[in-house]
Each structure stands twice: as C-alpha cells, then as structure tokens.
Structure 1
Amino acid sequence: GKRLPPSVFLLPPPPEEAAGPRPTLSLTCLARGFFPEAIDVQWQKNQENIGNSGNSGIQTSPPRRE
C-alpha cells in the first residue's frame, strides 16, 4: 500500500483539570490516517526528545489504538 503520513492533533487538558489545584496536566496526542500501521510517537520539548525520565517530571503512557 501507499505510505501515508499521519494527521497529528494535540489535545489540551480538560478544563476541570486545568482549573484544578494539581500541579500536573494531561496532554493527548492523536495520530490518525497513517499507513503502514506501525508508528513511533515521541514527545519533544524545544526540539529535543523527552520521555519518562525521573528528572523531567514527565510520564508518558503507552499508545493505545482506537
């Protein structure tokens, strides 16, 4: 099949989470419409990959298929 790049959407945290007292927020990345189905998604900050390192305070959950 023909290779197709993903359409990528960054979804903000829910308003109740953003307005709450917790110092953390959830961001969601939605990637769809791509082929082949194998994909590697990485978060970046200032064009550098970030991940689940203890120093960054960032936690990334495993991708899920919808």
Structure 2
Amino acid sequence: MFSETTLRVEQISEIMKRFQWDEGKLKVAKAAYGNCSDKRNYSTLSGNFTFLSNKNELLDFIEKQQRMK
C-alpha cells in the first residue's frame, strides 16, 4: 500500500481519519508503519480509534515491531 512512500505520523493520522470504521483505520496504521519516518511518535495514532480494543491492538503491534529490530 505504501511501499515507496515515506510518511510522518501526522500524515498517517490524516489518512486514517478518512475511514469511518476502526477496522479500516487499523489496517492503514499497520500498513504504513514500515514507511513512517518518525516511529517514536507512532503510538499517538491510537487516539484515532473509537474502541479501546483497537487502540490496544495498535499498541501491541507497535511493541512487536520494535522488538523485531
């Protein structure tokens, strides 16, 4: 989806806001992680979700990605 594009967290947040449902937002957030230039701020994207379960899923995903380094 974002294979050749570098994005900042603010840009990813704007893309996420185009999706009405958390499911779409979560897919975007996960897909864009590898192309993010400021990953240290990635957890702030959890504020875009309605449901706590989706927020936690993103935070778990970020943690796993950081451990894989």
- The TM-score, its normalising length taken from structure 2, stands at 0.29
Which has the larger share of helix? 2
Task: Name which structure has the greater RCO, CA cutoff 8 Å, separation 6+.
Answer: 2
Kindly name which structure, 1 or 2, has the bigger radius of gyration based on alpha carbons: 1
